[in-house]
Structure 1
Amino acid sequence: MDDGILDEAYERFARTGPEWGENTLTNHGPMAVEVLVRRGLAAGVHDWVDAYLGKLSELPSVSDRITDVTWQDALGDGRRIGDWSAYFVEQMQEHPWCEVLVTWWPRLLPGIVAGATHGVIRVSHAVRTLLSGDESPAAVTELAHGLAFWAARMRSVPGATEADGTLDMNAALDSIPRITSQQGTVAVRFGQLTKMPAWPASLRALKAPSGPADVQTQLADLVAGAAARYLAHGHGSPVLLVHTATAPNAVLHTLPALPQSLWAPSLSAVWAASAAITAAYAPAQGLPRGELPTGIHADELMSYALKHSDEHVIKFADTALDAFAQSGKSEVLAAAQRVGDLIK
């Protein structure tokens, strides 16, 4: 039991915005504390929150109320994060959280790259709390804020298309092409994708799932495959490439709260997002294995991440443990240590 530590942390973060600073960096606080509590490190949450809160911005105020009639006009408008937060808080007061999630998931799925995938990731961490049995007002409000961030920062994957090929996940990951110039912002890099003839073909090359169980298997393979590939390629963009694994893991953990009719579209969307980040940020050639860490014991990984304290290290460690449980590959644990080495 966490003795209310997670709800207290959620309440403290509820007054903060989803972004902070001149570069509009993402507020990872609610996501990281969910990991720490779920992984048995609740005792370290208070100190971590105290250290993290100081750099955050306040939640923007409401400027123009969003309604069930006007919401489409506000999608992807980052200036209206406060409006979206107020809207989803109201929705959670009027409807069960699971009903709101199921209504909005397919509406937001085309914009899965929102906040460099942090929208869907924040939603997933809140859903994990709710599915664990904690349906407190603080947890429900956290889900509202996650959905609001996703809606305000909607961004699609250029050229996204359905998979209908023959490759398994690992082969499909190996076949992802790279953009010509891995320079500039996400928008600049993603803008190059549609100019590559090999791009849509690489997305289609993945075999379509045969059913709901296969969706889960392919997502787990994507998480493990992307996590393992970070080990040799993460230096290309230590922060952005973390999300090639954490985003599909977020979708995987949200599936139990969604109808199975949404599972295959969710796999398709996050496969495209993970592939796009890989194409835009991962170097074509990885570093030699001899220059990389050999790994850390699974039982020590979360303590290592908390001691490091960086939010990306904490979240990737959580994902690496999931991937290790699924694949048994020590590379994913070594990749989690590599994240810590690269992000100081």
Structure 2
Amino acid sequence: METSETSGQLEEALERVHATGPERLGRLTNHAPMVVEALAARGRAGAVHRWLDLYRDRLEDFPDRVAPVTDDNWAQALGDPRRAADWIDHFARALAERPWRTVLAEWWPRLLPGLYGGSTHPVIRVGHAVRTLESGENAPRRTELAHALGYWAAVHHTVSGVTALPAAPTAEASLDAGPAIPDGLLGFPARLAAVRQLPDWAGEVTDPRAARERLAELVRAATHRYATHGHGEATMLVHASTAPNAVLRTLDSLPRDLWAPSLHAAWTASAAVTAMYAPAEPVTYVPPARLTAEEVMERALAHGDEHVIKFTDTAVDVGDERALAAAQRAIEISEPLV
């Protein structure tokens, strides 16, 4: 689907984005690089600058540097959001010296336990960056991976003390089985801290092929589930599918011995988000029209919300009728960009 025109427009958009920081207000993620990549990947590169113009008020300047991150001090800088620029610089240097897959393979197991930082957005940004590098490598795309990995390292946040519960046989049933977090807690960090029990659906999976199959099943189940449960929190619940899908997109660029750990991290994140924002009751949802993937993507672009576009991109990856209906549901219940 990518053409030379598509590529050039994506590069220009990424260069615009790289002059800005990974967050605004110290807590809200910059979604622009993920959205422009999704639009380009879905044949809508001609819309990326127009969308960026609408989104620009939600962007902040690139943050100040503190001190260089090095091979000797990186562990002390991990999880320090003040060091975002330092981390981005670190990965830019690494990617200039070594192949991007080598850098990714080195850092993926270091960063994977902290997948929850930034409300799972960093791993999602990495997934988009990897997809575009797999379709063609150049400097702006490598720079985007540096920004994505740097953001992940800066907001790296682990979760511990979660008790494993017996899981149902399927991802869909296991997502349903996770104990919901009580109402009244505000913000992602507080709700995440309240997650104490999750079904252990990833179980003892160690085989890479089985891990891939389970990860694909999880993405499909979480995407389908949004149609009936998305009203619990229209924005945050999209991450139950977009985060594991980012991991799934990255697998082929990683050594196979990292696939099973990736499944375990993706499952825990998806199940946690599902529990954190579960509605009191599901609803029956029948989409107003049976649309093609292209039609749903066009409606998501017209709607403009960054989460809607990224969720629709994941729904198109899943590709079945229930997934496309879930994307329509996201368009219906989410606030448009303008």
- Is contact 2:239–2:270 with CA below 8 Å preserved after alignment? yes
Q: 1:125 aligns with which of 117, 125, 128?
A: 128
Distance verdict in 2 for CA 1:205–1:215, change over 3 Å: closer
Q: Secondary structure at the match of 1:117?
A: helix
**Which residue number corresponds to residue 44 of structure 1?**
47
**What amino acid does structure 2 have at the position aligned with 1:7?**
E
**Deviation (angstroms), 1:154:** 1.0
Q: Matches of residues 49-128 of structure 1 in structure 2 within 5 Å?
A: 49-128=52-131
**Which residue number corresponds to residue 268 of structure 2?**
272
**Which residue number corresponds to residue 138 of structure 1?**
140
**Deviation (angstroms), 1:159:** 3.2
**What amino acid does structure 1 have at the position aligned with 2:294?**
D
Q: In 2, Cα distance between the equivalents of 1:233 and 1:183?
A: 19
Q: In 2, Cα distance between the equivalents of 1:332 and 1:295?
A: 11
**Which residue number corresponds to residue 221 of structure 1?**
217
Q: In 2, Cα distance between the equivalents of 1:152 and 1:5?
A: 29
Q: In 2, Cα distance between the equivalents of 1:240 and 1:158?
A: 21
**What amino acid does structure 1 have at the position aligned with 2:91?**
F
Deviations 1:253-281 (A, max 9, x none): 00010000000000000100011111111
Q: Secondary structure at the match of 2:211?
A: helix
Deviations 1:189-240 (A, max 9, x none): 122222xxxx14x1x2444436222212111111111111111111111111
Q: In 2, Cα distance between the equivalents of 1:141 and 1:289?
A: 41
Q: 2:35 aligns with which of 32, 35, 42?
A: 32
**Which residue number corresponds to residue 305 of structure 1?**
300
TM-score of the aligned structures, taking structure 1 as reference length: 0.91
**Which residue number corresponds to residue 336 of structure 1?**
327
**What amino acid does structure 1 have at the position aligned with 2:70?**
T
TM-score of the aligned structures, taking structure 2 as reference length: 0.92
**Which residue number corresponds to residue 169 of structure 2?**
167
Q: What root-mean-square deviation, in Å, do the aligned CA atoms of Structure 1 and Structure 2 show?
A: 1.9
- Is contact 2:87–2:154 with CA below 8 Å preserved after alignment? yes
**Unaligned segments of structure 2, at least 5 residues:** none
Q: In 1, Cα distance between the equivalents of 2:62 and 2:152?
A: 15
Deviations 1:266-315 (A, max 9, x none): 0000100011111111124212336x656533230111111111111111
**Unaligned segments of structure 1, at least 5 residues:** none
Q: Does residue 16 of the first structure (1) align with residue 20 of the second (2)?
A: yes
Q: Secondary structure at the match of 1:287?
A: coil
Deviations 1:317-344 (A, max 9, x none): 11001112xxx3x221111111111211
| Worse-superposed segment, 93-102 or 115-124 | 93-102
Distance verdict in 2 for CA 1:3–1:177, change over 3 Å: closer
**Which residue number corresponds to residue 152 of structure 2?**
150
Deviations 1:88-132 (A, max 9, x none): 111111221111111100000000112111110001111111111
Aligned positions, number:
331
- Is contact 1:164–1:206 with CA below 8 Å preserved after alignment? no
Q: In 2, Cα distance between the equivalents of 1:173 and 1:295?
A: 26
**Deviation (angstroms), 1:171:** 2.4
- Is contact 2:162–2:195 with CA below 8 Å preserved after alignment? no
**Which residue number corresponds to residue 187 of structure 2?**
185
**Deviation (angstroms), 1:23:** 6.0
Q: In 2, Cα distance between the equivalents of 1:71 and 1:125?
A: 24
Distance verdict in 2 for CA 1:151–1:215, change over 3 Å: same
**Deviation (angstroms), 1:61:** 2.1
Query: Once the two structures are aligned, what percentage of the paired residues are identical?
Result: 47
- Is contact 2:87–2:153 with CA below 8 Å preserved after alignment? yes
- Is contact 1:164–1:208 with CA below 8 Å preserved after alignment? no
**Which residue number corresponds to residue 248 of structure 1?**
244
**What amino acid does structure 2 have at the position aligned with 1:238?**
A
**What amino acid does structure 1 have at the position aligned with 2:169?**
L
| Worse-superposed segment, 47-56 or 241-250 | 47-56
Q: In 1, Cα distance between the equivalents of 2:105 and 2:7?
A: 30
Q: In 1, Cα distance between the equivalents of 2:164 and 2:93?
A: 34
Q: Secondary structure at the match of 2:125?
A: helix
| Worse-superposed segment, 58-67 or 181-190 | 181-190
- Runs of 4+ aligned structure 1 residues displaced above 4 Å come to 160-166, 292-295
Distance verdict in 2 for CA 1:3–1:91, change over 3 Å: closer
**Deviation (angstroms), 1:176:** 1.3
